[in-house]
Structure 1
């Protein structure tokens, strides 16, 4: 494997690449240009990809466990990717496909996820403070205990999502679809729910103090 070709971004067809291979163990990928690259099934465990360009990259089934991904993932295919404990703070994930991805203990605070597909994704306890989730598909997603304080969920689809004990304080939920969502004991203090669809939503024990309805 040509390490310099990877670093320079001139090599974009890298399916199955494994950074735990001895020749690649110390390959620095910070700010690397892998836009549109074929990275199916790659092993980037613990990789430093901060500032990297991964927009449009195909990371289907990739292992990105504990990786630093604070960069550009616009429109990336992250279906079934392992993003456990990944650092995605402030990352651009607009329009990305995250169906089937593992995001346990991942940090997405301040991330840009507008238009992303998170249908049915397990986001239990994930940090999404201040994240941009406008128009995001979160239908049937598990957001139990997630921190969504100050997040922008305007027009997002959260039908049948599990938001039990989630922190939505100060969040913008204007026009969001929360039909049949589970909001049991959720914190929605000071949130904007103007035009939100709460049909058949479970709001038992939900704190709605000072929220705009």
Structure 2
């Protein structure tokens, strides 16, 4: 191989590596055919180690809906975007024929400051339930008797007067809406399941 070809190959490799590093080594999404744009919402945020020189980067999980069907995705946040919060909207470009194929094209700063969610716990003989409410997004977890997570559901909630409505993201298809009565308690408020009368307190 000639020196000139080696130089060109090296330049191409460095450029490709720099591009992938800027995009957190995520494979770019290429669309064939018509695309459309919609908005989703961030429902969970985690943290992972970044590259050399970066302490950490955010990993956000988001949900979006197309024609009544819910989809989800994961995105690592780099310098291009500011820190995100649960409940923020996400702009999604997706394939018209295959809505599950998509890419994030932007974030909305609906919630700029960190907000600690309101947590509610049940008191049961075996295991317990926990509901966290944050910026219009709920995280509902069912724990087993040994503290292991048996089921976790995310979705949007709406609180009006003395009622709370949970509308889950239907990723698997078996998630159902649920409602709770909001009532005063010694520590603030408590939630009472409309069907089972199970109480969750703060």
TM-score relative to the length of structure 1: 0.26
- Asked which structure has the greater CA Rg, the reply is 2
Normalized per residue, the structure richer in helix is: 2
With a CA cutoff of 8 Å and minimum separation of 6, indicate the structure with the bigger relative contact order. 2
